[in-house]
């Protein structure tokens, strides 16, 4: 009998371990504008055993609000997830909408075929969904915006009291030395700089997963080919998406591969050690003639302002790629 556990102890552990695991999962609302890299971010989030996805909200950005909302429903249908999906703002708070068809195509997910959506959407506006979900949550929630910050700012304006229910905002946006929409600005922040200013000045803990890290989160053409060779239902679509995305990026900037900006943001919630960050102060430029949407990062503390964000500079690329491949393999197995 030595070394053997009594049967009742084994049965007890089997009963309680799932509930312990559920209690330790990080609760997340994913706010996105799918978007090729958003699609991979949703796949990574839904496949993770570390995250409990409370819902997905969508915003106009990479494409119009109608298209990003439909795309979120298509992605969930593909991977077999039935989550609440709420449509948010179709334009920024004060600016005219800017989209990125030159990168993401006319649908926002050009390059691959998706099943018709079977996931039933929420009737609530995304802002109301975020507020109600936060207020009803037993534990603080991670907000993970991977598009313009319009919905998040809207929720903070509508119900400032929800701040205490937010564990952290882990967002894709901005850059210290890197930009992609203008010489000064990253796309998400550029689209709605006023919303970004509200978020960064909210006092909520923030991790800024910006271009200085995400431009290093490059899936090479060889990585995309390896994904294709998995030949599963989800991996096949993911590889086709990334092939189109890589082709557009090469035309636009000469890069050979696909930047996985948004999946790195999700990965940073799953495992914060995937990022190399510094705690710094970030201001958002909203009025500059040439610098609208710039994230002005006080690298040397010259302003004397208190740091308000963990700012990313690099990543563990091997760990990150492993998380993405493992997630897509798990999603393939659902349909095997």
- Rounded Cα–Cα distance for residues 30 and 279 (Å): 23
Helices (H), ranges, the chain: 7-24, 36-47, 65-79, 101-104, 126-136, 150-158, 187-191, 193-200, 211-214, 221-229, 233-253, 261-270, 317-333
Q: What are the Cα distances from residue 6, in Å, to 2, 11, 151?
A: 10, 9, 53
Question: How would you classify the pairing of strands 206-209 and 258-259?
Answer: unpaired
Asked if residue 296 lies in contact with residue 177, where contact means CB atoms within 8 angstroms, the answer is no
| 261 annotated active-site | yes
- Residue in 200, 205, 243 with CA at minimum distance from that of residue 221: 243
Question: How would you classify the pairing of strands 218-219 and 258-259?
Answer: antiparallel
- Rounded Cα–Cα distance for residues 135 and 278 (Å): 31
Residue 138 burial (CB < 10 Å; 0-12/13-18/19+)?
exposed
Long-range residue pairs from 298-301, CB within 8 A, at least 24 positions apart, any chain: 299/176
User: Counting every residue, how long is the chain?
Assistant: 336
The angle, 0 to 180 degrees and rounded to 10, between the axes of the packed helices 65-79 and 36-47 is: 40
Other beta carbons less than 10 A from residue 331's beta carbon? 23
CB neighbour list of residue 316: distance below 8 Å, 6 or more residues apart: 273, 274, 275
Q: Which of 36, 104, 261, 281 is catalytic?
A: 261
Q: What are the Cα distances from residue 124, in Å, to 56, 165, 324?
A: 12, 20, 31
Known catalytic residues are: 261
């Amino acid at each position: 009998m030595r070394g053997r556990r009594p049967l009742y102890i084994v049965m007890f552990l089997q009963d309680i371990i799932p509930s312990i695991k559920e209690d330790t999962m990080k609760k997340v609302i994913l706010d996105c504008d799918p978007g090729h890299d958003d699609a991979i971010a949703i796949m990574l989030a839904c496949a993770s055993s570390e995250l409990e996805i409370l819902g997905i909200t969508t915003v106009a950005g990479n494409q119009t609000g109608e298209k990003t909302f439909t795309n979120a429903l298509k992605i969930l249908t593909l991977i077999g997830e039935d989550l609440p999906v709420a449509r948010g703002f179709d334009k920024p708070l004060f600016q005219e909408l800017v989209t990125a068809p030159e990168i993401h195509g006319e649908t926002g997910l050009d390059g691959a075929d998706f099943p018709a959506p079977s996931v039933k959407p929420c009737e609530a506006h995304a802002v109301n969904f975020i507020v109600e979900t936060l207020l009803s949550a037993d534990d603080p929630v991670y907000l993970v915006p991977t598009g313009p910050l319009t919905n998040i700012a809207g929720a903070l304006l509508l119900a400032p009291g929800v701040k205490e229910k937010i564990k952290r905002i882990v967002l894709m946006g901005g850059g210290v030395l890197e930009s992609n929409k203008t010489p000064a600005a990253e796309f998400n922040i550029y689209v709605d700089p006023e919303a970004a200013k509200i978020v960064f000045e909210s006092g909520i803990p923030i991790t800024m997963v910006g271009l200085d890290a995400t431009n290093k989160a490059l899936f090479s053409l060889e990585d995309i080919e390896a994904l294709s060779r998995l030949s599963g239902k989800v991996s096949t679509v993911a590889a086709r998406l990334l092939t189109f995305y890589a082709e557009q990026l090469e035309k636009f900037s000469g890069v050979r591969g696909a930047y996985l900006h948004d999946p790195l943001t999700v990965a940073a919630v799953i495992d914060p050690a995937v990022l190399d960050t510094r705690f710094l102060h970030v201001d958002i430029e909203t009025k500059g003639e040439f610098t609208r949407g710039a994230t002005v990062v006080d690298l040397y503390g010259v302003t004397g302002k208190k740091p308000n964000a963990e700012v990313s500079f690099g990543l563990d690329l091997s760990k990150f790629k492993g998380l993405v491949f493992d997630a897509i393999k798990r999603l393939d197995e659902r349909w095997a």
